[in-house]
Amino acid sequence: MKLTTTPKISYSITYPYVFWDNWFAESELRAIEEYCTTQSVITTGTIGGGVVNLDIRDSNVAMHYANNDNKWIFDKFLHLVDHINNTFYQMDLLGFDTFQYTEYNTKGSKYEPHMDMMIGDDIAIDLIIPRKLSLSLILSDSSEYTGGEFEFLTGGEPKIAEQKRGRVLAFPSYVVHGIKPIESGLRRSIVIWALGPKFK
């Protein structure tokens, strides 16, 4: 069959990241900090399989599952992720299972470029509901630390996202990103992942 017209091709952009300011009030940010600094069991951040490798990831973390004391934090994120996802990504999402409190608090603390979505050939990984949309709430003001740039690698020049207290950065969990080494001070954040069925 011979085409008599040129087929119409539509293009769309998937943003490597988007951000939202002032979703959390200052009083809520202080409440999150108090909760995380008093209720967290801080451990050294690990990479796949629970391995500690400070050449790749040098940070302190604490994982939090929903309970009566922190449910409001999950609920607040849920409303935001619904808006961001509907506006920018339209992924099939199910919800959250945990959030992570993270501190970069020594010179050289970093997280080399990585994806939040777990990819591998381990049967245990096959049983995990994939991370599909990542959100990072910046708790530290930029005056509290130097270095620690939030970097996205999507081809070409790396993109550096401006960080400010209360800003939420959101991005597909398959986007490669990292935290460049801290030079001084303390950088704190909350990271939460929206889960969903595998892409199809």
Query: In the 3-class helix/strand/coil scheme, how is the chain assigned residue by residue?
Result: CCCCCCCCCCCCCCCCCEEECCCCCHHHHHHHHHHHHHHCCCEECCEHHHECCCCCEECEEEEECCCCCCHHHHHHHHHHHHHHHHHHHCCCCCECCCEEEEEECCCCCEEEEECCCCCCCCHHHHCCCCEEEEEEEECCCHHHEEECCEEEECCCCCEEECCCCCCEEEEECCCEEEECCEEEECEEEEEEEEECCCCC
Mean pLDDT value across the chain: 90
Query: Which domains are delineated in the chain?
Result: 18-180 (2.60.120.620)
- pLDDT confidence band for 183 (50 / 70 / 90): very high
- pLDDT per residue as tens digits for the range 95-150: 998 999 999 999 999 999 999 998 777 666 666 789 999 999 999 999 999 999 99
Tell me which of 24-28, 105-109, 116-120, 194-198 is least confident.
Answer: 116-120
Query: Which pLDDT does position 96 carry in this prediction?
Result: 93
- pLDDT confidence band for 1 (50 / 70 / 90): very low
Question: pTM to 2 decimals?
Answer: 0.90
- pLDDT per residue as tens digits for the range 36-58: 999 877 888 877 767 888 889 99
